[in-house]
Amino acid sequence: MKAIAVVTTVATRDEARAMAASLVEQGLAACAQISEIESFYRWQGELQHESEFRILFKTLDAYYAAVEAAIRARHSYALPAIHAFALEHVSAAYGEWIENECTEKRE
C-alpha cells in the first residue's frame, strides 16, 4: 500500500491535539505530528498574518477520503486547507508499521 502524508492547519494547539488524537485513535492515521507555524494568506480580499498549527497525518492513500472527511467534520475553519503528498522511499519496517496502524481500526 502507498503511504501518504495528509496536512491541514488549525487555529489553536487544543484543536490540533484533539484532531490528531481522534484520527490516530480511529485508526485513520498511524501518527500525527503538530508544529507551530506562521501563515500569510489572503482571505476575503484582506492579507492575513497569523500563528497556526500544522498537523501532518501519516496514513495510506486508500484512506485519504476518510481522513479528509474526518478533518472536515472536526475543523473550525470555513475553508480548511487539506492536502496530501506521497511518502517516497519509506523504509520497509516503517511502511509496514503505517499500514498496520491504519488497518487496525479502533472504534
* pLDDT number for residue 104: 56
Structurally, how many domains does the chain consist of?
Answer: 1
Using one digit for the tens of pLDDT, what is the confidence trace for 68-95? Answer: 999 999 999 999 999 999 999 999 999 9
Range of the domain at 62: 3-103
* pLDDT number for residue 103: 77
Distances in Å between the alpha carbon of 57 and those of 4, 19, 31, 48?
8, 10, 6, 25
Comparing C-alpha atoms, which of 53, 74, 75, 61 is closest to residue 5? 61
pTM (2 decimals)?
Answer: 0.93
Using one digit for the tens of pLDDT, what is the confidence trace for 40-73? Answer: 999 999 999 999 999 999 999 999 999 999 999 9
Cβ 78 vs Cβ 11: under 8 Å: no
State whether residue 45 is helix, strand or coil.
coil
* pLDDT number for residue 105: 60
Element (H, E) at 89: none
Cα–Cα distance measured from residue 39 to residue 13, given in angstroms and rounded to the nearest whole number = 15
CATH assignment of the domain containing 88: 3.30.70.120
Using one digit for the tens of pLDDT, what is the confidence trace for 7-32? Answer: 999 999 999 999 999 999 999 999 99
Cα–Cα distance measured from residue 84 to residue 90, given in angstroms and rounded to the nearest whole number = 16
Cα–Cα distance measured from residue 74 to residue 8, given in angstroms and rounded to the nearest whole number = 11
* pLDDT number for residue 107: 46
